[in-house]
Amino acid sequence: MDVQILALDNPLWLQVLDGIRHDIYHLPAYVSIESKRLESPAEAIIIQEESKILFLPYLLRSCKDFYPEHLKGGEIFDIISPYGYSGIVLSQEAIKDPAFIQSALKEVIKAFKAKNICSAFFRLHPILSAQYIEHLDSSIATPDGVTVSVDLLQSESKIWAHTRKGHQSTINKCKRLGLQARIVPYSESMEVFTSIYTETMNRVSATQSYYFNKDYFEDLLNLGDKLHCCIVENTDQIVAASLFFECCGIVQAHLGGTRTAFMSQSPFSLLLHHMRLWAKERGNEFLHLGGGVGGSQEDRLFKFKSGFSRQQHDFYTLRLIINPEAYSELLQHRAQSIDVPVEKLQQSTFFPAYRIAS
């Protein structure tokens, strides 16, 4: 097997993806945005055996804040996925060969260990991972909830029929009120979009991880024609807005929100209905709406999304302990620093456990 680790500017990154079905999260333009936002170097690893290819992008983080100065063996790192659903993608030939997948993962771990990487956490793509998830060991592939997508290969009438009655009524009410949804250039709507998004996050008391600075929203322009902005407006103002990515037949909802003053009209229902028809007309296969907060199927966000489609996908995360000895030492040091038993960290579902908040 040939193993290569690529920097963002390596032309091989795009060349490999050109022959593999992927999503926006795997592209260097998107990974670069995340690298800048999190101040973490970005790389991708490629494992190849003839036409069988495994591709995996990631962000490299230093663990120096989690271990004492005297730790032996040099600086330790860990790995995280870029925000969203990235994870493993495979060539069609690789998908058909479970032995290759398992061997390739061993090569990934071997390569990471050589880079002094302690652990790795990947969010797998709910749609693309369905092709190979059964071939991953259950000890490393953890179910983390369910996501919703609209099957755009269905007829418009079936898409509408699979819409919850309450959503149907809301969409029709929005139309009667004169609200209209349309796609607009993000470059011209960035300021109003960020205003609506921030207002929404404040209203729902979102955690800090859901807030992004001005540079982030400007950097999204680097995604070019793969980024789309949908708005809902009445006669004199924009009342809801959302960003969507489009890549390889998958339209992916990213960030969005609604003006507080218009919450009672629920214009976001009209927005998502418009996007279903728009994405279908452009020949896409999925409109992926994502899941609930923290992977929950009980929260209001998931229940809202699931009213637009009956199609759901299992969402998995890949949790790899690359160097058990270093992982254990980091765990012990973290437990001491926040004055909790090591066992409490070990029992946590958070990964890696040494990064758990105090």
SS3 annotation, 315-358: EEEEEEECCHHHHHHHHHHHHHHCCCCHHHHHCCCCCCHHHCCC
The verdict on residue 241 lying in a domain is yes
Does residue 217 sit in the same domain as residue 262?
yes
If you count them, how many residues does the chain have?
358
> Residue 115 is part of a domain; what is its CATH number?
3.40.630
Q: Judge if 122 and 188 occupy the same domain.
A: no
Residues 203 and 247 in one domain: yes
54 and 173 part of one domain: no
Kindly state whether residues 178 and 41 are assigned to the same domain. Answer: no
Number of domains in the chain: 2
Give the tens place of pLDDT for each residue, 152-185: 999 999 999 999 999 999 999 999 999 999 999 9
Nearest of 147, 146, 144 to residue 351 by alpha carbon: 144
Alpha helices in 226-299 (DSSP H): 267-281
How would you classify residue 84: left for phi > 0, otherwise alpha for psi between -120 and 50, otherwise beta?
A: left
In this structure, are strands 180-184 and 227-233 parallel, antiparallel, or unpaired?
antiparallel
Residue 174, domain CATH: 3.40.630.30
Query: With a cut of 50, which residues of the chain have pLDDT below it?
Result: none
Q: Supply the pLDDT for residue 296.
A: 59
What is this structure's pTM?
Answer: 0.94
Q: What is the pLDDT of residue 66?
A: 82
Domain that holds residue 63: 2-136+323-355
If asked whether residues 157 and 306 sit together in one domain, one would say yes
Let me know whether 40 and 132 are in one domain.
yes
All residues at 6 or more sequence positions from 254 whose CB lies less than 8 Å from its CB, including other chains: 84, 242, 243, 244, 245
Q: Are residues 310 and 329 in the same domain?
A: no
Distance of alpha carbon 210 from alpha carbon 198, whole angstroms:
9
What pLDDT sits at residue 294? 63
Residue 5 pLDDT: 98
Sequence letter at residue 68: P
pLDDT at 90: 98
181 and 300 assigned to the same domain: yes
What is the model's pLDDT at position 68?
A: 65
Q: What is residue 292's predicted lDDT score, i.e. its pLDDT?
A: 83
